[in-house]
């Protein structure tokens, strides 16, 4: 069975966000047919919407034999177990798990866009991703170093 290297973005800004992200990282280590290879430090950033609490973010690297859709199903189950409610786009949330990259695949379905469509604009994804995969070249976007040069800071700083 073919295994792919996958990068997952984690974020939370409700109900003890640091613990939400730490627990989700532990849960990723137990996904079926998957191995947690690496995880970034935990970062803090401003919300994309005014009036929301700051976000806690991290990126995890998995090696998995799960299909993209099956992986997405597992990630959404983890989100739901953390009380995730989908009320508004980019709204406050207990936990958000996004498939940032799935090998070198480019996926564009009703359920999933990979690489993530806003990747190049989000320091809270790029900085943690660069921490664990500094030489990564991202399909449709190019080299990590180029992306980092042009990315807005969003007041990102290392938390843990």
The CA–CA distances, whole Å, from 62 to 34, 37, 45, 54 equal 7, 5, 24, 26
The CA–CA distances, whole Å, from 6 to 35, 72, 105 equal 10, 11, 10
Tell me how crowded residue 85 is: count the other CB atoms within 10 A of its CB: 12
- Identify the active-site residue in 96, 111, 122, 140: 96
Considering the entire predicted model, what is its pTM? 0.94
Lowest mean pLDDT among 46-55, 74-83, 112-121: 46-55
Q: What are the residue ranges spanned by the domains of the chain? A: 4-158
Residues shown for the chain:
160
Whether 27 has a pLDDT exceeding 70, the answer reads yes
* pLDDT, the chain, mean: 92
- Identify the active-site residue in 26, 77, 86, 93: 93
Catalytic residue at 110?
Answer: no
Encode 93-115: b = buried (16+ Cβ within 10 Å), e = exposed. bbbbbbbbbbeeeeeeeeeeebb
Whether 9 has a pLDDT exceeding 80, the answer reads yes
CATH code of 4-158, in short, is: 3.30.70.560
CA–CA distance, 131 with 141 (Å, rounded to integer):
18
- Identify the active-site residue in 3, 50, 77, 98: 98
Catalytic residue at 93?
Answer: yes
- Identify the active-site residue in 50, 84, 86, 135: 84
| Alpha-carbon torsion angle 154, 51, 49, 155, nearest 10 | 0
SS3 81: helix
């Amino acid at each position: 069975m073919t295994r792919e290297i996958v990068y997952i973005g984690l974020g939370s800004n409700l109900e003890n966000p640091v613990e939400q992200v730490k627990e989700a990282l532990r849960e990723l280590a137990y996904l079926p047919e998957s191995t947690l290879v690496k995880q970034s430090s935990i970062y803090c950033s401003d919300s994309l919407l005014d009036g929301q609490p700051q976000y806690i973010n991290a990126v995890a690297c998995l090696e998995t034999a799960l299909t993209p859709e099956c992986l997405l199903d597992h990630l959404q189950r983890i989100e739901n177990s953390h009380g995730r409610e989908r009320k508004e786009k980019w709204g406050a949330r207990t936990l958000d798990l996004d498939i940032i990259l799935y090998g070198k695949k480019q996926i564009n379905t009703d359920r999933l866009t990979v690489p993530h469509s806003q990747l190049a604009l989000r320091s809270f994804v790029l900085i943690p991703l660069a921490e664990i995969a500094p030489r990564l070249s991202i399909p449709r976007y190019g080299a990590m170093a180029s992306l980092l040069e042009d990315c807005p800071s969003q007041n990102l700083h290392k938390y843990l």
